[in-house]
Amino acid sequence: MPHVNILFNQLQKRKTEPAQVKTAIDNFEKCIDDVRNKIDDIINEAKSICTEPQGNKRRRRNNSSHDHRVAPLEVYDNIISIQKSFGSRIPFFPEYFGEYCGKFPDDKLETTCLAYPELEKTRLKTELSVIYARSDCRDLHGTLSLLKFLIQNGLEETLKQTKKLLEIIVTTYVDIKV
């Protein structure tokens, strides 16, 4: 899937601004939606190009048009679901901590808590507000650095929700270096 490769390459740049991440993700979602909306045309084109093998080869158990349509739609829906949860990384761009300290990014918190309902929204907001206010946190680079900072300073219990979210992000996505 070239769209996944393009998104991956855009997000692996050494310096990636949150606005660039948002634009890349929005473009990715638009491209995926376009492909999803054209799935019937793609299936028909593939059928016209491909022919079923003849002879003694075993045939697939279920080779219906319905299956040809449902499987790719599920894949695209899963990709979009994962992509939407990617927005949860945005609260951890240190160069914006000063800005977030002045005006908390409630929209990003809302998106994050929708993606990960196991998080306690009120506590996470309080914890992030503390992180945004600390100048030593602004010197960190990326989510993994922030997680290490919490562990090295014994803040796992104090910033429990932030640590939980950071662990989810670090284990789910490749870390973006800022």
Per-residue pLDDT of the chain (178 residues; tens, 9 = 90+): 677 677 777 766 666 666 677 677 778 778 877 877 877 777 777 777 766 555 555 555 555 555 666 777 677 666 666 555 555 455 667 777 888 888 888 888 888 888 788 999 999 999 999 998 988 888 887 788 888 999 999 999 999 999 998 888 777 654 444 3
Q: Alpha carbon of 21 to those of 6, 16, 31, 126, 157: distances in Å?
A: 12, 7, 15, 25, 30
pLDDT tens for residues 86-120?
554 556 677 778 888 888 888 888 888 887 889 99
166: helix, strand or coil: helix
Euclidean distance between CA atoms 50 and 156, whole angstroms: 56
Euclidean distance between CA atoms 10 and 4, whole angstroms: 10
